[in-house]
Chains A and B, each alone.
Chain A
Amino acid sequence: MDSGNTAWVLVSAALVLFMTPGLAFFYGGMVRSKNVLGMLMQNFFAMGLISVIWVVVGFSLAFGGGGNGWIGNLDFAGLKHLAQADAHLPGYVKDFALTVPALAFVAYQMMFAVITPALFTGATADRMKFRGYVVFLGLWSVLVYSPVAHWVFSPTGWLFKRGALDFAGGAVVHINAGIAALALIVVLGKRKGWPNEAMHPHSLPLTLLGTGILWFGWFGFNAGSALGANNLAAQALINTHLAAAAGMLGWLVVERLKDGHATTLGAASGAVAGLVAITPCAGFVGGLSPIAIGAIAGIVCYLAIQLKFKLGYDDSLDVVGVHLVGGIVGSLLLGVFADKAVNSLGANGLLNGGSDLLVDQLTAVVATLVFSGVVSFVLAKLVDLTIGLRVSSDDEAEGLDLSQHAETAYNFGDFASMGRIG
């Protein structure tokens, strides 16, 4: 047990928790003002529901033993066997031995479990019924998130053992949530009026504030994944920052060339694209690689968000374009830029003479896409056929704030906010 490492992991848990409100504002600014509370609520609610599910079964399914490589057992259900300072997690031995209390690790990983499903709320914006969201969210966390986290993050998981690398969640978080987002919007359908009706972001200042919070919290996400206050954490932190910076620049350059203006929403989106792509790579690359990874992600994600208009799916706030595509870009580029000199537990990518890693990365990407895509689609269909996934046409026109939550976000004392109590 190391007190410095423990302090860093505890702080990182708080940083990653803060990303979910950040995400809420990043998305909330982009929707119309009648839907902003609906968006904030879906994100905040994940902090409630997923945290409880995580300690009851989620953590155990993700990091418990069992030895099958696919899913953990229930040894840690309800936080059993975790409270002692010497609590041991299966697979975390030798090179991977934890130097922090198991409970610190449980808390830290909990915040990843919270934000991952929150990511897909951007794709389903403006039309998902709250009741349907609640049920889908809980089921998805147990049936999709925990297994994929086991495969990739747990040293006993089958993809981990194959040699696939995912420092902080390129596959587990971004590809996983991104393909789930695509499955959900296939079931949900387009928003009324999309793509002909203008659906302007109602507050880009909120979106930029949310971006800043995400960027800040991402240091906990990536540098915290070193699970220690050490050189690797410093490398991951600087990689994270540089990729965000280069992602913003890459997006803005291509946006300026193609659309004629560098926009604030472009700056925010490019930074997030860079952050997404560096997530799997953060502790395995060094030098100027993060700048290349971030810039490529910024450019590719800019191009990817145009696809929805060509293919006709309403990925409202570009979760597929930024998180799915950015996650795939990062996971595959890791097979190119990885450098064992940075992290001896990693591997070498193509540029450093290693050719196996790219194959392992591709395996992890495809496995996550297929599993999460299929199970998410089936879950979405089941929820849709039973309690319903989409609000009624009238509720959609009225907005999620009033129809789902009986509240309005902005009351400036005008006629619309006059009323009687009772």
Chain B
Amino acid sequence: MKLVTAIVKPFKLDDVKEALKGMDVQGMTVSEVQGFGRQRGHTEVYRGAEYTVDFVPKVRVEILADDADTARIVEAIVTAARTDKIGDGKVWVTPVDSVTRIRTGEMGTDAL
């Protein structure tokens, strides 16, 4: 089993969600995050004082998946989230030792 983690532009979340729903992904967790990569932050001005804000708002999407599905999921996220502009984000995959569904106690791929 794998954990697919993606950092995407907030306004692309809906496209990502729809793409994943369309390929039988059973669930996902999303969170609002801030960070920086190559994309610059922005400046704000208050009574002439300029504030540089480096952290850019992003959305983190996390999906637990069977090994066999991982490549398709990554590809779907990349396609849906791409704008070809700097700051489109990243997707990475990490191995997962165990998954348990709390309600039933099912474990492993049954719990996905």
Contacts and interface: CB of A to CB of B under 8 A. Distances in A.
A421 B54 contact: no
Kindly list the 4 A-B residue pairs having the minimum CB-CB distance in the complex, ordered from nearest. Answer: A419-B53, A419-B51, A415-B34, A406-B45
What's the dominant secondary structure at chain B's contact region? strand
A197 B17 CA distance: 12
B55 interface: yes
Interface in B40-84: 41-46, 49-55, 57
Contact of A402 (B9, B34, B42, B85): B42
Interface of A: 192-193, 197, 394, 397-398, 402, 406-408, 414-422
B50 A421 contact: yes
Contacts of A197: 14
Contacts of B51: 419-421
A417 B34 CA distance: 10
Nearest to A414: B34
B55 A407 contact: no
B44 A408 contact: yes
20 contacts: A192-B11, A193-B14, A197-B14, A394-B85, A397-B9, A402-B42, A406-B42, A407-B46, A416-B34, A416-B55, A416-B57, A417-B53, A418-B54, A418-B55, A419-B44, A419-B53, A419-B54, A420-B51, A420-B52, A421-B50
A416 B35 CA distance: 9
Nearest to A397: B11
Given A402-B44, A406-B44, A421 B11 contact: no
A171 B62 CA distance: 55
Contact of B53 (A394, A397, A398, A416): A416
Contacts of B42: 398, 402, 406
Nearest to B33: A415
Contact of B45 (A397, A407, A414, A416): A407
Contacts of B85: 394
A240 B19 CA distance: 52
B45 A419 contact: no
Contacts of A421: 49-52
B53 A418 contact: yes
A407 B44 contact: yes
Contacts of B34: 414-416
Contact of A422 (B46, B50, B53): B50
Contacts of A418: 53-55
